[in-house]
Amino acid sequence: MQLYLDLDYLRSAAKRVLHLFAGIFQVRLGLIGLAFVLLLAVAGYLPQLFLRLAEKIVCFVLRLVGTTHRWSSSSSIGPHGGLSSGYPMGRVGKHRFDRARFAGMIVLAHGYSLAMMNTAPREMLVVVPAHNEERLLPGCLASIDRARRAVPVPVTVTVVLDACTDDSAAYTGLADNVVVIHSANVGAARAAGFARARTDSESWFVCTDADSIVTDSWLLQQWQHAARGARVLCGTVAVDDWAHLGAAARERHESGYSHRADHGHIHGANIGFRSEDYWAVGGFAALETGEDVDLVRRFVAHDIPVTWAGNNPVTTSSRLIGRARGGFADHLRELAS
């Protein structure tokens, strides 16, 4: 007796089996994600609108599971082309997909998006301390104003005028709030800005400096990190002009500076954090310098994870006389000396 093996048939059968299990797995995974979202909703974290939408998707999945369809440019329903019926456990071609698998992917994506929306901040607050910054403050606020247009939540910009003796106040038109203090202390200035708008636990706080320019996607990327679960986000900075500092200074700086995801740099010009974590550690201390490093150290001491982002730098001034003793300007002056 001879046994003939049809290899094409075996390959086709194997594909069908794998395809079926993939569909079942993704549907179950999607339903698990949806169940998680529904539990959050029952706990009061999601509005009823999402519950109704989730219910419709479940009904949609139940109607689709168990039926195989194929899609290609040549198949059709009527004269217009598109989706056409096939057979359960049908052959898996290049342009075909299982509706159960497709439905599972939809549910999983929907569950993930709703879960992400649950962690996404509902508002953002940007604080900009300014001490005699009439020359650079307008450019800083203009860049923040452009950046907040890309964010899907309200963004409030607060400028803290600290012991200003120049005309900085005349250039705060793009700010939503202006706070005036007389501390000549950058830590106290940042703290005063956040104290002005003590908000709920679904806010994301952001800092930058008056001598810095942010990118158009800066705030959007901050919001996206927060939506994915980040609690503290430390970004990098880029120097706006090396010409007057010299090639040697630039080389020394770049040899010890990194924009990698594990860069480890802390800059008050590019940092964000959840409001509840900020209040939990006591906020910014009234330090003349190093207030940003001090805050991050307290986050770490409270077991609050820090995310290091190197792909969203803030461009900062290359001036050699700064506003805070021991700040970035002093660092550049040391490199140039």
Per-residue pLDDT tens listing for the chain (337 residues): 444 445 555 566 666 665 666 556 555 556 665 665 555 444 444 444 554 565 566 556 555 544 433 333 333 333 333 333 333 334 444 444 455 555 555 545 444 444 444 679 999 999 999 999 999 999 999 999 999 999 999 999 999 999 999 999 999 999 999 999 999 999 999 999 999 876 656 899 999 999 999 999 999 999 999 999 999 999 999 987 777 778 888 888 788 888 888 899 999 999 999 999 999 999 999 999 999 999 999 999 999 999 999 899 999 976 756 666 666 766 666 766 7
Hunting for tokens 């982002």 — which residue is that? 309
pLDDT at position 320, please? Answer: 59
Q: Domain extents for the chain?
A: 7-118, 122-336
pLDDT at position 240, please? Answer: 79
User: Are the CB atoms for 141 and 157 separated by under 8 Å?
Assistant: yes
Phi, psi of 2 (to 5 degrees): -105, 145
pTM of the complete model: 0.66
122-336 has which fold? Spore Coat Polysaccharide Biosynthesis Protein SpsA; Chain A (3.90.550)
pLDDT at position 249, please? Answer: 83
